[in-house]
Amino acid sequence: MLVADRVIAIAIMALSAYFMWHATALPIGWNGVTGGPGGGAFPFWLSLVMLLSAAGVLLRSLMQAPSSQHFFDSQMLRSVIAVVVALFVTIALIPVVGAYVAIPLFIFWYIRIYGGHAWVLTTSLVIGTPVFLFFFFEVTLKILLPKGVTEPLFFPLYAMFF
């Protein structure tokens, strides 16, 4: 397992560095003209957090004693495949039903069906996540997320906030 942790951590660190490099094509600091963050700020800082998190996983795995476990056992491989397939389905649904439907569906599947967590946690995340995403991206950052067929439902909200 330590080998898998190290390989994946290094891959995520490389991908994060690549994202950070591309994000610098846009301003990553505070934009005095618009009074908000530059276009590259969110991808850059999110990638930095991702890089630091992966570095923590790598450091933790380097400090542990070597084990005789396999790179991936069959149970873990099935879990990884299930989540990857669910992510691909979610990404395919976003242009059709929108991010505010596809993401809560994924969260419902992952938390309740796959993870078996309680209804209180599942319901709060399934409802709270799209509400947070709407206010964070659309109201605060003025970044419109894809809505697909649900876009007419957002017209009253646009009238209130814009």
Cβ–Cβ under 8 Å, residues 81 and 50:
no
Nearest to 105 by CA among 87, 118, 80, 117: 87
**Average pLDDT of the chain to the nearest whole number:** 90
Q: Give the domain ranges of the chain.
A: 1-71, 74-162
pLDDT score of 17 more than 80: yes
- Write down the pLDDT at residue 11: 95
Helix (H, G, I), strand (E, B) or coil at 36: strand
pTM of the predicted model, to two decimals? 0.70
**How far apart are alpha carbons 15 and 12 in whole angstroms?**
5
Q: Are strands 30-31 and 36-37 parallel, antiparallel or unpaired?
A: antiparallel
- Write down the pLDDT at residue 34: 67
pLDDT tens readout for residues 109-152: 999 999 999 999 999 999 999 999 999 989 888 888 999 999 99
pLDDT tens readout for residues 25-73: 988 888 777 677 888 888 999 999 999 999 999 999 899 877 666 666 7
Which residues sit opposite 37 in a β-bridge?
Answer: 30
CA angle, 89 as apex, 121 and 127 as ends, to 5°? Answer: 25
